[in-house]
């Protein structure tokens, strides 16, 4: 396998940390970033191929500095993994405007900003691979996911469009849509729940919160195996535009596809009736 330079956001724990560890073990160079680079060093130690950097994806000056430092150290960036993000789980009417903006600032606008900073490097090289970490929530919504899922739907639409824009420069884009992966995504360090309440939603809100808390650190997906899948995808000459990670992700995808097909067929005649002829 050819050695590559990886730039990974959200690399201090969870999927990002396991991916950084796996990439280093495979002989790649890794610029691993998080809000506190000391957490990365504490987890991975020092390594000739590791560059640990402070990076808040909502801070444009930190993004520019991290990309510049990676170029100075490694000479380029072959693989970008937009992994930084968090889950806001709460019913829409129990969410505030600040909740909405904060979720989009990190999960969408932060991802946009990092991608915008790295693409010129990849274009100059005429090669690169952008991985945007989405979720099963990027193809199917559910109660409590109105904010989180909407950010992931945005990431998927962005990624599909971006892939068409940069393919002429030898740059690939792959959406990775994990199912429930056994990380701290659902514990207090990561997930955020709605802090306001509406009486009509009280029972549903409590049920959903209990559902997620019961599954924290009990998820079936293995982050180590997911990291191995990233490495395999990055080695592909023709990588997929979208990769669903986990059997649960496949089941959710299949259910969504079947639902779309059922509704498509049921209303096909009405759909065609919208067509008109030019006068």
Is pLDDT of 187 > 50?
no
> For residue 188, what pLDDT is reported?
55
Phi, psi of 106 (to 5 degrees): -85, -55
Q: What is the mean pLDDT of residues 64-77?
A: 98
Find, among 110, 167, 132, 145, the residue nearest to 243 by Cα: 132
Query: What domains can be seen in the chain, in order of their start residue?
Result: 5-267 (3.40.50.720)
Question: What mean pLDDT do residues 217-234 have?
Answer: 83
pLDDT for 276 equals: 84
Percentage of the chain beyond pLDDT 90 is 76
pLDDT at 216 over 80: no
User: pTM of the predicted model, to two decimals?
Assistant: 0.90
State the catalytic residues.
134, 148, 152
């Amino acid at each position: 396998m050819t050695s590559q330079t990886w730039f990974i956001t959200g690399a201090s724990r969870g999927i990002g940390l396991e991916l950084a560890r796996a990439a280093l073990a495979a002989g790649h160079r890794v610029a691993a970033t998080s809000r506190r680079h000391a957490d990365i060093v504490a987890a991975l130690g020092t390594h000739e191929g590791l560059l640990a950097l402070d990076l808040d994806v909502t801070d444009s000056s930190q993004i520019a500095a991290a990309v510049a430092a990676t170029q100075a150290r490694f000479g380029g960036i072959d693989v970008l993994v937009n992994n930084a993000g968090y889950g806001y789980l709460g019913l829409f009417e129990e969410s505030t405007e600040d909740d909405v903006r904060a979720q989009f600032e990190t999960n969408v606008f932060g991802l946009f900003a990092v991608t915008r900073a790295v693409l010129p490097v990849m274009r100059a090289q005429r090669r690169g691979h952008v991985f945007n970490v989405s979720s099963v929530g990027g193809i199917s919504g559910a109660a409590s996911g109105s904010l989180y899922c909407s950010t992931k739907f945005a990431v998927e639409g962005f990624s599909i469009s971006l892939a068409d824009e940069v393919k002429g420069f030898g740059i690939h884009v792959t959406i990775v849509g994990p199912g429930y992966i056994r990380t701290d995504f659902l514990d207090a360090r990561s997930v955020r729940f709605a802090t306001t309440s509406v009486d009509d939603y009280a029972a549903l809100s409590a049920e959903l919160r209990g559902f997620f808390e019961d599954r924290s650190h009990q998820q079936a997906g293995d982050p180590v195996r997911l990291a191995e899948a990233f490495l395999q995808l990055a080695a592909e000459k023709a990588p997929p535009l979208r990769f669903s990670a986990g059997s649960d992700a496949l089941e959710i995808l299949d259910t969504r596809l079947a639902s779309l097909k059922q509704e498509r067929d049921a209303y096909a005649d009405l759909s065609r009736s919208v067509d008109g002829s030019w006068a």
